Each structure stands twice: as C-alpha cells, then as structure tokens.
Amino acid sequence: MSKPKQVTIVDVAEEAGVSIATVSNVLNRGGIRSSKETIRKVEQAAERLGYRRNTMAAGLSRNKTYEIGLIVPGLNGYYGQLAEHLQVEAHNRGYHLSVFSSGGFDPEIERRNLEVLQQRRVDGLICHGLAMGFESTRSIVNSGTPLVLINGWDWPEDIAIGAVNLGFASACEQSVKLLLERGCRTLCYVSSKRSKAIDEQRHIGFIRGMERYGNGINYEVADAKDLDVDVFLRKMREGHPAPIGIVAFDDHVALRLICGTLRLGIELPEEMKIVGINNDYIAEHSYPGLTSWDIPYTFQAQMAIDKLLSKLSNQQAAEQDEREINVPLTLIERHTTNALKGGVNEHVAKGN
Amino acid sequence: MSKPKQVTIVDVAEEAGVSIATVSNVLNRGGIRSSKETIRKVEQAAERLGYRRNTMAAGLSRNKTYEIGLIVPGLNGYYGQLAEHLQVEAHNRGYHLSVFSSGGFDPEIERRNLEVLQQRRVDGLICHGLAMGFESTRSIVNSGTPLVLINGWDWPEDIAIGAVNLGFASACEQSVKLLLERGCRTLCYVSSKRSKAIDEQRHIGFIRGMERYGNGINYEVADAKDLDVDVFLRKMREGHPAPIGIVAFDDHVALRLICGTLRLGIELPEEMKIVGINNDYIAEHSYPGLTSWDIPYTFQAQMAIDKLLSKLSNQQAAEQDEREINVPLTLIERHTTNALKGGVNEHVAKGN
DNA sequence: CTGTTAGCGCATTCAC
DNA sequence: GTGAATGCGCTAACAG
C-alpha cells in the first residue's frame, strides 16, 4: 500500500522475455525499429504490468527534461488564461509546462520559483512581467537556460530577443482615436501602476494617441489603486467638457467605473464612454456592454512556445531575423462607446 | 552556451577538497553533522561554482519527489485562486505543486494529465471536480498514490476519505433562508450544470433550504448555460409573486442577472434579490453590490495539503477519526439582498 | 534487429 | 566525521 514498488523496464523486460534496451526502444518510439513481434510482446507486457516510464530517470539519462517553466504574476484573469493556453500548446509539442505564480510581483517568491525551476533543470523558461531586475534575469540567460519573455517591452535586447509582446500600446492609442471619433472632448487613462510594465505600455500608447490625434485636447491619468471611483467620476464630470472618454487599464477596472456611473446616474454612452482591455467575461456581460480589446490567447501561446522551442534546437543559430514578435489585439465594440446618442447599431445590440 | 554542463556535487567536492558524500551531507542538512570547517568549505565551494541540486537525480535516488500534483477544471476565478493558495501552502511545507488544468472537465485531457503526473512519480495528488469516473480514480488510489479530493461530496468512501469539502450546500441553504427572511415570495436557483458536482451540491442545498424554510413557497431552477437572461427575468417577474429571490451559481452568473435587471429596469433590492457565491472581485465592485459567500482559500488550501501530507507519512495509519473535513463559507452581505425598501444599513453602505 | 554496458547526479549504507 | 561503493530507472552508444 505504501509505495508498492513501481514497475520498471526491468520488470517489463523479464515479462516480455527481452532485454531492457529493447523495451526502452519500443516504448519510446524514437529509436531503432523493432520487429512487429517484439513490439507486440513488449507492449503487452507493459500493459499487463501497468508500466509507466519514470520521468526523472529518463530526464536524468538523456540530460533533457521536456519540461518548461512558466512564471506569471498570478493565476487570475488574463494570466490564468495565458497559462492555460501555454499549457495546451506546450503539451501539443511534447513538453510539460510547470506553472508558477509569483504572487503578484513579489521578487522574493519569484526568486524562489526560479531557483526551483533551475533545480528541476527545465529546458526553457517563459516569463511574464518579471519583478526582478535585468541583471538577475541576464544571469539566468547566461546560465544556459533559454528564456522567452512575454510582454518584455522595455528589456535590454540581449535578454528580450524573441520576446512575444502584445500590442497594448497601439490598442490604447487606437482607443484614444476611437473615443475622439465618437465625440469625446476630455480623455482619461485609468492606470494600474502595480502591474508594472503591463501598465506602462498602455500608458505610453494612451499618451501617443493623445499626441497624435488629440489636437491639444485635455487629458488626465489616474491610478486605479485606492481610487475613490465616485469622487473621481464626479470630478471628471464637473470639471471637464463632456462627453468624457475613459481608457481603463483592464475590464476589471472598467467594471468599477461602469458601476460608478450607474451609481451616480451618469448616462453611459452619452455623458461618458469607456473602453476596457482583455475582453473578459465582464466585458461581455456587464451592463452596459463594455467595449474592449480581445486577446488572441492561442496565437500568443503558440508564438511563445514556438520561440522557445526554436531557441532550444538552434544552438544560438540565426533566428536573428525576427527579434520581437508583436501580437495585435482586436477591438470588440459594445455599448460603452456608442456614438453620440442612442445610435445603437446591430453590432452593439448584439454585443450586449 | 548551449548546455554548459551544469555543476554537480562532484565539481563541488573537488573544489572543496572533500568527497561527494560529504557534500551531499552538508547540502541537505538532514543527515549527519559535519565539522564547522567542512561545512564552510563546502558551502563556499557550492556558492562559488553556482551549484544547484539536480531535482531528478535526488528524486530518483531517494525514491521521493516532493512534488504533488493538482488537477483542476480550469485556472479562472475560484479554481485559479485555489491553485495559487495550494501552491503557496505546498511550498511552505517543502513541496512543489504541479498544476494541471483539465480544460473544463474534459475527461481526455484529465487522463493525460494524470498519466503525466504518475510518470513524474508525484508523491501525492489533489484533485478537484474530476470528470473521470470512480473506477479510474480508484485505480489511482490503489496504485499507491495518495489522493485528496476537494469537493468530492458524492464519492465513494474508500476514495474520498479525507476529502476537503466546501460548505456550498449549507451556504445555499442559508441563502434561501436569508432571502425568505428578507421577504422574498418566489425563489429560484440559477445553476451551472456543466460544473458538475460543484453545481449539484449547491442545488441540493437550495432544495433543502426550500424544504426546511420554504413553507411550500414556489421555487424554480434554471440553468445558466444558454440562458436568455432577459427572457428569464421577465418571465420570473410576470409569472410570480414579488419580490423574487435568486440564488446564483456563482458571482459570474449573478453579474449576468444583475445586468439583466438593470437593462429591464427591475428594481434590484425591491423587486428582486440576488445572492452569489465566491465573493469575487465582481461581487465587490458590481452595482449594486452583490451579496455573496466568501471562500476561505488559505484555510482550505492548508487543510488539503495537511491531509495529503498526513497520508504520505502515516502508512495507512489511523486517521480514521476524521473522514471528511468541511470548510464553511461566510456570508458577505451587500446591496442585492437588502430588506424590503431602502433599508440601507451601515454594512451594506460599506459593502458597496 | 537485439542485448551489453556505461553512465546521468545524487543519497545512502557501511567501513574507516 | 568522512569517504568509497552501490543503486535509483532509464538512455545511448556499441557489439553481436
């Protein structure tokens, strides 16, 4: 009951009446072909005994784990989705994805996780929004473990080569453009600074949008953390020309804002317009329906895994051509960005 | 660059001028004590060389991995939170938690994940909401891998011994009681059948509440999947005596309902009252604020890990006393369950 | 095609 | 206290 000696290839070999090497051969397919007969015998023996290959022994022997590590700040919302998709893609390519959450950008936890992953001799690493500095990260890279960054915009080139970046900046830029086109006369970006680079990038895009399309129009930036939504909204409405357009850090933040407008009796598409990011469950089901940017998780995950695997095979080879790959988001319009008044078009009607 | 031979205890031994056995001793603490001097030498050598213990080799050698596997239906919302907390607790006890998502109750994926985990020789398994049948699960247990079920209410005793169950049933039962006390004259449970046992349990609680406190009052059950919220709400309002009380499967479902009432102009605390489950971000930030049941994630996680570890040490020993452990939820009242009219008490005001 | 053998990196007796 | 030797389960050359 307590640790009934697991069956090994030795057992299978005996049972099948062949050598352990043969067993290893037929059971991992890659190697030399065996006679039909042998294959059958081995497979049946394995089946009969309930053999299961010992990952550790295999990894130890061939000096390769087929395990890749993932470090994300958390498991909720966007990060959870990403992790899930990465897991699927990794699996599809014969790899195991070990998921680690760094508990919301805690550098300490991040270090520990990294240590564990290195000890596990993972073949590669995918990191998202690292809290630790460049130097620490560089030391990983130099230690020989291939690294793919997701959303590592502001990282030094030697580390970020092959990074997979989501187009948050241009999404925000386009959000600004959209809001202006919809008639907004004041804009605001509600940030989430604790999300670090993820936020920074949106901010940059927002500013760029203002510079490019704003024509000197008034804009503000507020941080969601500790934000008193009601006070904020009231101030926006009273102190600035309407309608007011808001770019929210993500759909969660947007939900808070939407609820604020409901509470204060602010007319949503008329007096104020909001666009979120992530196209969460929230965006689809909130009332009014929230305009948001959809993330192509599957594509993103594929890109990341592909990048990593290519780094694994090509020993430092020429993948120089494509340094960073950019994954664009797509806008899903819903009610919160309707044009001036009651212009409910089909898309919007469906979206909510 | 491409696989720079990782440093091993052999290297450290040479560098420190001792034998590999000694290195192993001082580096894993458990064993025999060594002289201060030796310890220093070894530690410095290890430090200097950047030694990192090879998990596979260690695991192989001592026939124990200190890895425990987790299988959950997904990584979003409740499940993601749970996974994160389990990871922390596992780590606190020196274990590594390997998280697997079965992609929303896909039995196929579940099988694969299980296979992988077994091949990794995980010391134990924590499973939540398995899609596979009893038999398959039992075969795991019999294979010698300790298993702790989370929310495995309806499972056979021999498997579910030591299961950690959340008190969803009594939460729902109490929800019914609450809604009745608040004056509701029609009740409804909006389910999510695809969530299997998780849903079943809530359903049971709801029914029990009706039987116990309902006095023959009218009640209904509808499933959230493919539910046309607006049609549903309209029918509820028109065909039944108000106010109507709704117990939602979770806060996500509740959000949909809340938005429906906003859309249709149904007065929320007056004509209809809603209580959700999970006390998500949504519950706190929706408008009106959603009454919901909070889940003690940390406690739940500790219980699960504790149970598993005790199964690991006690070779089949007497843990018979406590078969299943029940983790109670706590109600967080917000605006959606206010008493008859405008009775906004402090708690509610704060809650929203 | 199949069997023999030598490690992979570490933990663990058991002598010294 | 410390070190030499053995084995964990498997893979990867080689030999046959």
Adjacent-strand bridge partners of B272? B244
pLDDT digits (tens, 9 = 90+) for B145-176: 999 999 999 888 888 778 999 999 999 999 99
Strand order, beta sheet including A124-128: A96-101, A67-72, A124-128, A147-150, A164-166, A325-327
* Residue B27 contacts strand C, CB under 7 A: yes
Q: Which of residues 53-92 of A touch B (CB under 8 A)?
A: 53-57, 59-60, 63, 65, 74-77, 80-81, 83-84, 87-88, 91
Answer whether A172's CB lies under 8 Å from A202's CB. Answer: yes
Q: At what angle do helices A134-142 and A107-119 cross, to 10 degrees?
A: 0
Asked if B124 and B248 sit in the same domain, the reply is no
Q: What rounded mean pLDDT belongs to chain B? A: 90
User: Quick check: A342 pLDDT over 90?
Assistant: no
B1 part of a folded domain: no
> What is the maximum span of chain B, computed from C-alpha positions, in angstroms?
86
B4 part of a folded domain: no
- Sequence-distant (6+) residues with CB within 8 A of A129 are A72, A73, A105, A150, A151, A195, A196, A197, A198
Answer whether B176's CB lies under 8 Å from B213's CB. Answer: yes
Q: Which amino acid is at A169?
A: A
- In angstroms, the CA of B298 and the C1' of C9 are apart by 36
Tokens matching residue A244: 């007011």
Is A4 close to B91, i.e. CB distance below 8 A? no
Q: How many helices (H) and strands (E) does chain A have?
A: 16, 12
Answer whether A98's CB lies under 8 Å from A70's CB. Answer: yes
CATH of the domain at A307: 3.40.50.2300
B176 part of a folded domain: yes
Model pLDDT, residue B319: 55
A1 part of a folded domain: no
Adjacent-strand bridge partners of A100? A71
Site of tokens 């998990």: B55
Tokens matching residue B341: 């009219």
Asked if A141 and A275 sit in the same domain, the reply is no
Asked if B97 and B242 sit in the same domain, the reply is no
Q: Is A58 helix (H, G, I), strand (E, B) or coil?
A: helix
Of B253, B249, B194, B184, nearest in space to B219 by CA: B184
Print the SS3 string covering A277-313: CECCHHHHHCCCCCEEEECCHHHHHHHHHHHHHHHHH
Q: Which of B123-132, B182-191, B283-292 has the lowest mean pLDDT?
A: B123-132
Adjacent-strand bridge partners of B104? none
**Angle at CA of residue B337, ends B333 and B343, nearest 5°:** 95
Answer whether B330's CB lies under 8 Å from B279's CB. Answer: no
CATH of the domain at B37: 1.10.260.40
Q: Which of residues 303-342 of B touch A (CB under 8 A)?
A: 315-316
Find which of B75, B136, B158, B253 to mutate to test the A interface (most A CBs within 10 Å of its CB): B75
Considering only residues B82 and B320, tell me which one the structure prediction assigns the higher pLDDT: B82
Answer whether B152's CB lies under 8 Å from B163's CB. Answer: yes
Smallest CA–CA distance from B143 into chain A, residue: A4
- Sequence-distant (6+) residues with CB within 8 A of A283 are A251, A254, A276, A289, A290, A291, A292, A332, A334
Asked if B301 and B224 sit in the same domain, the reply is no
Considering only residues B131 and B244, tell me which one the structure prediction assigns the higher pLDDT: B244
B50 touches chain A (CB under 8 A): yes
* Residue A61 contacts strand D, CB under 7 A: yes
Of B150, B146, B232, nearest in space to B191 by CA: B232
pLDDT digits (tens, 9 = 90+) for B81-131: 999 999 999 999 999 999 999 988 888 999 999 999 999 999 999 999 787
CA distance A38 to chain B (A): 23
> What is the maximum span of chain A, computed from C-alpha positions, in angstroms?
86
Considering only residues A141 and B13, tell me which one the structure prediction assigns the higher pLDDT: B13
B58 part of a folded domain: no
In angstroms, the CA A25 to CA A9 distance is 11
User: Is the preceding omega at residue A328 within 30 degrees of 0, hence cis?
Assistant: no
B324 to each of A188, A327, B68, B295, B297, how far by Cα in Å? Answer: 52, 47, 20, 18, 17
Q: What is the DSSP string of A182-225?
A: TT-SEEEEEE-GGGTHHHHHHHHHHHHHHHHH-TT-EEEEEEST
pLDDT digits (tens, 9 = 90+) for A99-137: 999 988 889 999 999 999 999 999 999 999 787 878 888
Asked if B197 and B314 sit in the same domain, the reply is no
Choose one of A17, A33, A53: the last residue of a domain.
A53
Structural domain total, chain A: 3
In angstroms, the CA A283 to CA A293 distance is 9
DSSP letter (8 states) at residue A274: E
Answer whether A275's CB lies under 8 Å from A247's CB. Answer: yes
Q: Which amino acid is at A190?
A: V
Nucleotide nearest B20, CA–C1', reads: D3
Q: At what angle do helices B36-49 and B20-28 cross, to 10 degrees?
A: 90
Banded model confidence at residue B339, pLDDT cuts 50, 70, 90: confident
Domain that holds residue A128: 65-166+297-328
- Dihedral angle at the C-alpha atoms of A332, A336, A337, A342, nearest 10 degrees? 120
Asked if B31 and B77 sit in the same domain, the reply is no
Q: Give pairs for A129-138: CB < 8 Å, separation 24+.
A: A129/A72, A129/A73, A129/A105, A129/A195, A129/A196, A129/A197, A129/A198, A130/A71, A131/A73, A131/A102, A131/A105, A131/A106, A131/A107, A131/A196, A132/A107, A134/A159, A136/A111
Asked if A25 and A120 sit in the same domain, the reply is no
A2 part of a folded domain: no
Is B315 close to A2, i.e. CB distance below 8 A? yes
Q: What rounded mean pLDDT belongs to chain A? A: 90
Asked if A251 and A341 sit in the same domain, the reply is yes
* Residue B9 contacts strand C, CB under 7 A: yes
Adjacent-strand bridge partners of B96? B67
Tokens matching residue B294: 């909070």
Query: Taking the C1' atom of C6, which residue's CA lies nearest?
Result: A61
- Sequence-distant (6+) residues with CB within 8 A of A186 are A217, A218, A219, A220, A236, A240, A241, A242, A243, A244, A245
Asked if B117 and B145 sit in the same domain, the reply is yes
Q: Is A70 helix (H, G, I), strand (E, B) or coil?
A: strand
pLDDT digits (tens, 9 = 90+) for A25-44: 999 866 678 889 999 999 99
User: Quick check: A71 pLDDT over 60?
Assistant: yes
Contacts of B103 in chain A (CB under 8 A): 84, 88
A349 touches chain B (CB under 8 A): no
User: Quick check: B144 pLDDT over 60?
Assistant: yes
Query: Taking the C1' atom of C8, which residue's CA lies nearest?
Result: A61
Adjacent-strand bridge partners of A165? A326
Model pLDDT, residue B322: 64
Nucleotide nearest B119, CA–C1', reads: D9
Residue B264 burial by Cβ neighbours in a 10 Å radius (0-12, 13-18, 19+): middle
Model pLDDT, residue B110: 92
Can you tell me the mean pLDDT for A278-304? Answer: 97
**Which residue of A75, A98, A255 is in closest CB contact with B75?**
A75
CA distance A81 to chain B (A): 7
A187 part of a folded domain: yes
Contacts of A53 in chain B (CB under 8 A): 119
Contacts of A256 in chain B (CB under 8 A): 285
pTM (2 decimals)? 0.93
Q: Which of residues 134-193 of A touch B (CB under 8 A)?
A: 143-144
In strand D, the nucleotides that come within 7 Å of a protein beta carbon are 1-5, 7-13
User: Quick check: A201 pLDDT over 80?
Assistant: yes
Asked if A75 and A198 sit in the same domain, the reply is no
Asked if B343 and B204 sit in the same domain, the reply is yes
pLDDT digits (tens, 9 = 90+) for A160-186: 778 999 999 999 999 999 999 999 999
Asked if A134 and A42 sit in the same domain, the reply is no
Q: Give pairs for A27-35: CB < 8 Å, separation 24+.
A: A27/A51, A27/A53, A28/A53
Neighbour-count burial for A332-345, b at 16+ CB within 10 Å, e otherwise:
bbbbbbbeeeeeee
Neighbour-count burial for B125-138, b at 16+ CB within 10 Å, e otherwise:
bbbbbbbbeeeebe
Nucleotide nearest A22, CA–C1', reads: C2
- Could you tell me the end-to-end alpha-carbon distance of chain A, in angstroms, rounded to an integer? 56
In angstroms, the CA B192 to CA B169 distance is 14
